Structure 1
């Protein structure tokens, strides 16, 4: 018989432990029994993939105590409580505290087995979801490179949104990586087996808009020799990425809104509608909320598209990510062109950290590719991340933090190596880490994911 799940059963009565163990074993479960709360607690952790069943009334710590500890360790671990006392208030209190089920003795074996089966299935789904989230976070760390708090939040947001199916708006400057974020969102979602269709709205002439988005039949207009599937239909079941959505004319926005509301499109020249199921991920260089308020964007379309939002900070606001990004792009470029990977000199790293990067990640990637080909790093210096309006002290502090973060990236989080690179004693480095809230463990985790 295939094992249906693991069960930890706690009861101070030996006869009850034996009976329940036999019932559930015959039902296909793997059962371990315990005479006290203290004994079973040693077996319970977030990694435990089964279910806990406990009697409520026991000498010493009782079932409610156990429920409280389990809830603290892992609120997603199902706990089934049983009691020989017909106590409705107790049952209500147990469910309020988070019990999965509450059974009154005597109960028939089938009723217990049914409850355990449902609880085991819930636990299995929780474990599967956690494994997927862990895997997704690791995969994202190799694609969305960076150890800054901003990048960690973006990766977490992607994982959180991936399973929801919600429409998402990504806001960021040119070159900040909006399409990459959109692709990552698609790839970790349940739509990953279907197409990711990217459309640059600014590149489509108004006269061709309907044909491009909704498709057309053969003969629908001059030059329409054969039927063409539009972007909506082509992305059916997958993700439709609308880049530079702010450039779309208002009357065309109305057509997109209708397609999203009706979940269907009508190709040009057709007398039928085509059902479509797409998730939209939209990118904009400006705040669509402001554009809608000013009349430059349809407010109803904004609320349809912007169920959730991801904001990408410009590279100048996350300078601690620059060394790791540059190293990654340079290494890839060297491999692509058959060159030996090269290391940055300190003065070159200084130039990278001082540059303002108006072109964001796209500009950085181009610089890394030039460096990999032996063309050097030639960049105009720019004010540090604190900005020209900040005081000299604030600008110096921002630059110092960025340099220390860069050293941690190069040293893969090893403090001794950072001390060597920067020529700092341990006490001074510790003081600066505390002052700038630098977490070396974050860089160690990032190095492990690379």
Structure 2
């Protein structure tokens, strides 16, 4: 297994309390809608391209953990996926919440506290609607008012827009004063930052959260609301504050889809054949949304034990699927490489035959004596072979690492928060 992947596994184990971390280690969750700059933020803190780290492990878990040093302290940045209430088929909100809940409850069960949350929001959002609003609502519910002093709110993309600074400041002001956005968080003790997309700015927010934690002295930092509800209160996921936000959104989406289905049924009866087919496809899409949401209640009506078990099953299923794809890709690349190597050998045989025919009885076996046309063809084909060999080497390394992951992940998952798995089911 590559050193980078090994580090990723160790970071995940440290976050879940299944391996030792420094006694003064800091754990900070990074949240925000996709595109807000979470990966960039983590890269700025760690000094590494974290997209690489989202390779093999991202096919198994929604959560990724990265380590860095800030003022000599070990900091673990927990990169969480953004919620997207518009997508109820590929990655519905309840599935994302379930995955986040699995690791947060496991971590808390092993006495690992989240020392801060950094929430990133694009200042370029002209209107805070849809996914951005949903992520804000869920972050509030997931943290809970008692945790607000340990939240850093950061607006991003200040340097990537051509909009005037005055317009951006007006938008920032609205975020600060409106109850639907950041006002309750700021009133509850959260701090707001402008992130200028530089490493110094990212580390400044991390230092702020470390200072807040250190100012507690001997007092214990409160858990996130989701952790307390799942572990201490043994609530079902759908009965937590964050779960209710997801369920309310699902209920609204369900009503919209059902209404759309009825309207489409009426339209299909009146439409001609060409338009009727399009309307039927739209009806099927809404029916898929309805079926998916109908399963949401069952999928959310679970407690910590079931959350952890389902996450383990999901991790292994995703890894098996990814591994099957990797092996198929490797086999295809190896077949292409073998074909290219055969072509090189054929060209060399043809060059040899042509030279023998041309200089019968007096020829050299050296390749450099081949006719120029064959020399060029062989050179071009060998370049293709070298390129394909490099691709095959990468694919072989990936499948090897996946082989090791498949062998080690079950034990890793079994080690993650046995206390969480042992939680009573009411």
Q: What range describes the TM-score normalised by the shorter chain of this pair? A: under 0.3
TM-score of the two chains, using structure 1 as the length reference: 0.22
Q: Which has the higher helix share?
A: 2
Q: Comparing both chains, which one has the higher relative contact order based on Cα–Cα distances under 8 Å and sequence gaps of 6 or more?
A: 2
TM-score, structure 2 normalization: 0.23
